[in-house]
Amino acid sequence: MGENDRIEFAEMFKRRTKKFVVDNIKFFRTLPKTEEAKIVGRQLLRSSSSVGANYRAACRARSQAEFHSKLSTVVEEADESAFWMEVLIEAEITKQADIALLLDEANQILKIASASRKTVSK
């Protein structure tokens, strides 16, 4: 992968992780107004917003170690986002069909960020 390909990928993934945040905000607005939905929904908002913010920070990293650290946070927060989505489904706060695309995106972001982290580690 050439330098231009890396830059293009980074820009695409920045847009994708930002869209993930925005989509989670929009999803949060659809949750029932119950206390448990608010609590779990806020946890999802925190973790999903951290995905986008930390990937953006990774792109501005001053060293490979800093990049690896921020990318590790992206991996952790994408996994946590998937966890809270699964909780919303299993606690019957939302239907799987209503969150399936977001859950799939969380898992795809997790896989991409994990693979990138492994590449950086080598």
Say which DSSP state 5 is in: H
Q: Identify the CATH number of the domain in which residue 87 sits.
A: 1.20.1440.60
* CA–centroid distance for 8 within its chain: 19
Q: Residue 97 is part of which domain span?
A: 3-121
The residue whose two tokens read 């896989």 is: 111
69-104 confidence digits (pLDDT tens): 999 999 999 999 999 999 999 999 999 999 999 999
Contacting residues for 58 by C-beta, under 8 A, at least 6 apart: 66, 67, 70, 71, 74
Q: Evaluate if residue 2 carries a pLDDT over 90.
A: no
Q: Write the DSSP assignment of 66-117 as a string of letters.
A: HHHHHHHHHHHHHHHHHHHHHHHHHTTSS-HHHHHHHHHHHHHHHHHHHHHH
pTM for this one?
A: 0.93
What pLDDT was estimated at residue 71? Answer: 96
List the one residue out of 105, 110, 47, 41 whose CA is nearest residue 75: 110
What pLDDT was estimated at residue 1? Answer: 65
Question: What domain count does the chain have?
Answer: 1
57-71 confidence digits (pLDDT tens): 999 999 999 999 999
